[in-house]
Structure 1
Amino acid sequence: MTAETAPTPESEHSASDLVSQAAAQVSTLVRDELELAKLELAEKGKRAGLGGGLFSGAAVLALYGLGLLLALAVVLLALVWPLWLALLVVMIVVFATAGTVALLGRKEWKQATPPVPDDAVAGVQADVATVKTAARQGRHE
């Protein structure tokens, strides 16, 4: 009597088949995740653009409001001083404020240094050290 070999079920695959399937699935998963990330970024970009536009509109309106406030100051001062003197005083106050803010900004600008991502640098240094250690151990084996 000859021994009959049972046919291998289709669910059993060779290791190379399983590796290629896993690689294909990982590739598909990565592509899908990248597509999802692109869609999310596009949506966030639209919202950021809209928010930036609205914020810019608010800034323009605030500048007009500041102009009206300065005009009110001139009108109020013109009730007790001549108009030219009221305008001169308001103009000097505005320029003095602008100069002070500019000097403060310049001071802060000079003190600023480019940020260094400490965590990222430390992580890269640790990775390099690990690779060097593994390379040394590989030469000694």
Structure 2
Amino acid sequence: MASIPSTPGAAEPRGQDRSVGELLSDVTSDVQALFRQEVELAKAEVKEEASRAGKAAGMYGGAGFGGYMVLVFLSLAAVFGLANVMDLGWAALIVAAVWAVVAAVLYQRGRARMRTVSPKPERTVETMKENAEWARHPTR
């Protein structure tokens, strides 16, 4: 077997006789890329959670406005309908109590949805913990 003579300027295979500076440079660029990816993941998670929070807030607003409109028009109709059977004041009080129950149910549903919103980017925190563990023990 003939050996290939080493000539000045010839490219050496990657990973052989590399300087510490080159290795550190590679590690630094890898860590920077990993950090950028983690930041992008955090941004995506925060955006997703903000979207969910916005939808829940919209439901609160929609429930409030819808409840108000229903309360106004149906309450008037119910009060006038009940006024044919009983005193107008009692009819108005009964109708108000019914709409109070409806409002309480809508509030509870909105509150339950808001509890599912997590402001902390869970996946990013987990991967950052994994990255820190790997950085401490890269051969494991």
The TM-score range, normalised by the shorter chain, is 0.3 to 0.5
Q: Relative to total residues, which structure has the larger helix share, 1 or 2?
A: 1
Q: TM-score, normalised by structure 1?
A: 0.45
Q: TM-score, normalised by structure 2?
A: 0.45
